[in-house]
Amino acid sequence: MSITSFSQLPLNQALAQRLVDLNYMVPTAVQSVSLAPALTGLDLVVKGKTGSGKTLVFSLALLNKLQPECNEVQALVLCPTRELADQVAQEIRKVAALIGNVKVQTLCGGTPIEPQTRALQHGAHIVVGTPGRVEEHVFNGSLMLTETQTVVFDEADQMLDMGFTETLESILVYVPEVRQTLMFSATYPDKIMKLAKQYMREPEFVEAKEEQ
């Protein structure tokens, strides 16, 4: 289903109101085709160029089912670089503002690991990070993904080009099989199709007809 207004979506009040406050008036092309299936919990591979508004798609999908009273990592977002992870974390925090007490933790390399480990001990609802550092935290037991319901691969083509395929696969071993997996990419190379086939449940491939 393609939507023309955010009001057509089954969003909880805190998210619907926040879109109004943020002055997000109409969905972008990629949002209009992917938000409805994303919110029903389907696995999606979404193709869209830079600046098309993909972050909001997965932010709403993971936040709409988030339970703030459950102090576990419920969503994991993997990004190719620290800069992208920081941007994504910022956008999620912005969209989540009216839900209250949503803890978003970034886990990126190139920075000491101990403060991240301590932060994780205080709990995180959403982890946004780069594959290598997330894998490190999973392996040393500081990051538990047993309650994770949503996994997002952002800029998936870039992550695979950077050689992260095996790292992504080793992280997924620790995430429940029953989950929603969302993949975002500017291109659909063979590597993407292979990853989607192996780790997603009957993924739907969505692409905006006319990108804004």
Residues in touch with Mg ion (CB under 5 A): 54
Closer CB to ligand ADP, 91 or 147, in the complex? 91
What is the torsional sign of CA 129, 102, 96, 57?
Answer: positive
Size of the site for ligand ADP (CB under 6 A): 12
For tokens 């974390």, the residue is 89
Considering the complex, what minimum distance in angstroms separates the CB of residue 28 from ligand ADP? 5
CA-based torsion, 123, 126, 128, 129: positive or negative: positive
Q: Which of the ranges 45-53, 65-73, 140-148, 171-179 carries the binding residues for ligand ADP, by CB under 6 A? A: 45-53
Window 156 to 175, contacts with ligand ADP (CB under 6 A): none
Report the partner that residue 27 touches, choosing among ligand ADP, Mg ion, none (CB closer than 5 to 8 A by kind): ligand ADP
Helical (H) or strand (E) element with 206: strand 204-207
The gap from C-alpha 117 to its chain's centroid, in whole angstroms, comes to 21
Q: Does 210 bind ligand ADP (CB under 6 A)?
A: no
Q: Which residue is nearest to ligand ADP (CB)?
A: 55
- Segment holding 63, helix H or strand E: helix 54-64
Name the minimum Å distance from CB 4 to ligand ADP. Answer: 12
Binding mask 11-40 for ligand ADP (x = CB under 6 A): -------------x--xx--x---------
Whole-number Å distance between alpha carbons of 137 and 98: 29
Nearest alpha-carbon partner for 9 in 151, 26, 193: 26
